[in-house]
Amino acid sequence: DVKVTQSSRYLVKRTGEKVFLECVQDMDHENMFWYRQDPGLGLRLIYFSYDVKMKEKGDIPEGYSVSREKKERFSLILESASTNQTSMYLCATTESKVPYEQYFGPGTRLTVT
Amino acid sequence: AQSVTQPDIHITVSEGASLELRCNYSYGATPYLFWYVQSPGQGLQLLLKYFSGDTLVQGIKGFEAEFKRSQSSFNLRKPSVHWSDAAEYFCAVGARGSQGNLIFGKGTKLSVKP
């Protein structure tokens, strides 16, 4: 079974803090994704990576950056957290071959006060 | 551009009743289609997927879905709902060459009445 873990289930940070969310997968998948999920808006793609040190912007990259130094680890960075970044953050992985089934981590609920 | 529409934001059914959740997609070629379920506070779990072959696919927890190309639909069904099925359900579409990117619908929240 694919296992995708996220560093924290719940996180509370203050406005202006730098925040790191980490995602680790154990299945040697090439592609990794970060989403945020908000009520009524569904999942919105922030960034994705299809190889080590590669990254691509998703639909809402503003205010975020990412790092992928190792194949199994994909980090999401909030350089200066703001209250509008309070959300559920979900990491997912997939192989680079069809049908691209995505496997999700349990999520991190981030609150910025 | 690909898109996914789940017309129903919230559905309530009685326990034991049948269920159908609707999903319509927009894509020029044959898409890869998925249904995911999310329990409160959890990540998404794959229920079933379609990428070729038989248009009626079976998934986990007694769910099934049917791909209808003529209607651009991939509706999820279950003949008898259990209280534990209360969750949010997401339909997603993918495409060859997309590097694994999926487009997700906004979700349908299912409530189950005793």
Q: Tell me the helices (H) and strands (E) count for chain B, helix number first.
A: 0, 12
> What mean pLDDT comes out for the span A70-76?
96
Q: Distance (Å) from the C-alpha of residue B14 to the closest C-alpha of chain A?
A: 24
Half-sphere exposure of residue A75: CA atoms within 13 angstroms, side-chain side: 11
Nearest to B11 by CA among B108, B114, B113: B108
> What mean pLDDT comes out for the span A25-39?
93
pLDDT over 70, % of chain A: 97
> In this model, does residue B6 exceed pLDDT 90?
yes
> In this model, does residue B98 exceed pLDDT 90?
no
Q: Residue A40 has what pLDDT? A: 87
Q: Residue B53 has what pLDDT? A: 87
For residue range B33-78, list pLDDT tens digits in order: 999 999 988 889 999 999 888 899 999 999 999 999 999 999 999 9
A95 to B107: CB separation less than 8 angstroms, yes or no? no
Write out residues 44-63 of A within 8 Å (CB-CB) of B.
45, 48, 50, 56
Which residues of chain A have a CB within 8 Å of the CB of B36?
104
Which residues of chain A have a CB within 8 Å of the CB of B35?
none
> In this model, does residue A95 exceed pLDDT 90?
no
B32 to A109: CB separation less than 8 angstroms, yes or no? no
> What mean pLDDT comes out for the span A10-37?
96
SS3 A2: coil
A42 in contact with B, Cβ within 8 Å: yes
> In this model, does residue A2 exceed pLDDT 70?
no
Which residues of chain B have a CB within 8 Å of the CB of A98?
32, 51, 94, 96
Q: Residue A88 has what pLDDT? A: 95
Nearest to A101 by CA among B40, B22, B88, B51: B51
Half-sphere exposure of residue B40: CA atoms within 13 angstroms, side-chain side: 4
